[in-house]
Amino acid sequence: MADIAQDGAPLISGRLSSLQDHVWRDGFLAAATWFLAAAISHFLPDVVVWGDTEAFALLTAIGGAVFLALAFAVPRLADKLRTLVHYGPWFVAIGIWLAVWELTTAKLGWLPKPFFSPPQGLLHVYLTDWDRLLICIAYTGRLWILGFSSGILAGFVAGVALGWSKRFAYWGMPILKLIGPVPASAWIPCTFFIFPSTFHASIFLVALASGIPVAILTAAGVGQVNKSFYDVARTLGASNRYLIFKVAVPASLPNVFVGLFMGLYYSFAVLVVAEMLGAKYGLGWYLQFNTAYSAYANVYAALIIMALICAGLVKLLFIVRERLLGWQKGII
C-alpha cells in the first residue's frame, strides 16, 4: 500500500501542476470572492432596506462570471493580458472587500446608517442621481482645467526665471517661500476683494495650490543643471535663449514632473474649498450640499468619482513623463 501511495503522489502532483498551467489562479479566486459578495447580497436579509440590492447582487455575479471565464482564458492569452495578470491579487482583494462591506453594513448593521452606506447605496446614487453628477463633473472639470493649467504655466515660467536669474531669485524666492506654506484656503478673504466674481476667485485658489510646487521644483531643477553643459554650449556659440530652452529646461524636466504631480494632488484638495465660494454645481458643492443633509451615500459616491478622476489624471501624467523623458533611460 505504501508503494502504491508513493507511486500515486507524482501523478497527483503532476495533475495539480497541469491544472495550474491551464487555470489563472487569481482569476479563479476573484470569481469566488465576487460570487460570495453576490450571494451575501441576495440571500441574506437587510437590517435596513436599501435600494438596488438586487442590482448590486446581479452586477457582482456578472463580475464573478467574467473572472471565471478569464481564469480559463488568461493562460492561453498570457502575453496579451499581462496587465490583467499583474492586477490579479487586487481583483481578489476587491471581491473580499465588497463581501465584508456588504456584510458589515446592510446585513449585520455593525456600521450603521446614515454614517455608513453599503455598496448598493452608492449604486443607487449613481442610478438615480447620475444626471446631477454629470453636471457637477463638468463644472468641476472646467474649474480644474482653468485653474490647474494657468497655475502650472505661471509656476513653470516663474520657476525657470528663479533658477536662471540670480537677481530674480534674490527678490522672488523669499516671497515664494513666504506664501508657499500658507494654505490656499487662507487667501479666501483676499480673493473676494481682488477678483470680480467667485468663479475667478476659485480659479485663483486652484492655480495657487498647483503653481507653487511647480515653481519651487522647477527652480531647483534649473539651478542644479551641470554648469559644464552651459560651458560646452557657449563654446559652440549658443545664446542665452538657447541655453534656457535647449539646455536648462530639458535637464530640469524630472524636477518639473515631480512638481506637476504634487500640484495635481494639491489642486484636487483645494477644489472642495474653491467650490465653497458661491458655486451652484461641482463635485465640491455636491459634497457640501449632501453632507449638510446627512446624505452620506451621495458623499461617498462623489468621493469615489473624484478619486477615480484624480487617479486617471495621474496615470496620464505618468504616460506623458515616460514619453518626454524616454531619452533618460539608461542615464539616470
pLDDT tier for residue 25 given thresholds of 50, 70 and 90: very high
The tens digit of pLDDT for each residue in 124-170 reads 999 999 999 999 999 999 999 999 999 999 999 999 999 888 888 88
pLDDT at 76 over 80: no
Measured in degrees and rounded to the nearest 5, phi and psi for residue 50 equal: -120, 150
pLDDT value of residue 16:
41
pLDDT value of residue 148:
94
Residue for grid cell 501624467: 317
**Which residue from 259, 255, 163 is spatially nearest to 209, judged by alpha carbons?**
259
pTM comes to 0.82
pLDDT value of residue 79:
64
pLDDT at 10 over 60: no
pLDDT value of residue 302:
93
Q: For residues 162 and 182, what is the distance between their CA atoms, to the nearest angstrom?
A: 20
In three-state form (DSSP H/G/I as H, E/B as E, the rest C), the secondary structure along the chain is CHHHHHHHHHHHHHHHHHHHHHCCHHHHHHHHHHHHHHHHHHHCCCCCCCCCHHHHHHHHHHHHHHHHHHHHHHHHCCCCCHHHHHCHHHHHHHHHHHHHHHHHHHHCCCCCCCCCCCHHHHHHHHHHCHHHHHHHHHHHHHHHHHHHHHHHHHHHHHHHHHHHCHHHHHHHHHHHHHHCCCCHHHHHHHHHHHCCCHHHHHHHHHHHHHHHHHHHHHHHHHHCCCHHHHHHHHHCCCCHHHHHHHHHHHHHHHHHHHHHHHHHHHHHHHHHHHCCCCCCCCHHHHHHHHHHCCCHHHHHHHHHHHHHHHHHHHHHHHHHHHHHCHHHCCCC
Residue 216 CB coordination number (10 Å) = 23
pLDDT at 12 over 50: no
Position with higher pLDDT, 100 vs 232: 100
Position with higher pLDDT, 34 vs 242: 34
For the chain, give every domain's residue range.
12-108, 130-325
pLDDT tier for residue 15 given thresholds of 50, 70 and 90: very low
pLDDT at 328 over 80: no
pLDDT value of residue 312:
93
pLDDT value of residue 288:
87
pLDDT tier for residue 19 given thresholds of 50, 70 and 90: very low
pLDDT tier for residue 237 given thresholds of 50, 70 and 90: confident
Position with higher pLDDT, 8 vs 150: 150
Residues 272-303 as b or e (16 or more Cβ within 10 Å = b): bbbbbbebebbbbbbbbbbeeeebbbbbbbbb
The tens digit of pLDDT for each residue in 209-228 reads 999 999 999 998 888 887 88
Give me the mean pLDDT over the 181-204 stretch. 83
The tens digit of pLDDT for each residue in 292-319 reads 888 899 999 999 999 999 999 999 999 9
Q: For residues 288 and 49, what is the distance between their CA atoms, to the nearest angstrom?
A: 25
Is residue 290 within 8 Å of 284, Cβ to Cβ?
no
Q: For residues 124 and 117, what is the distance between their CA atoms, to the nearest angstrom?
A: 11
Homologous superfamily (CATH) of 130-325 is MetI-like (1.10.3720.10)
pLDDT value of residue 20:
53
pLDDT value of residue 5:
47
Is residue 317 within 8 Å of 257, Cβ to Cβ?
yes
pLDDT tier for residue 78 given thresholds of 50, 70 and 90: low
What mean pLDDT value characterizes the chain?
Answer: 85
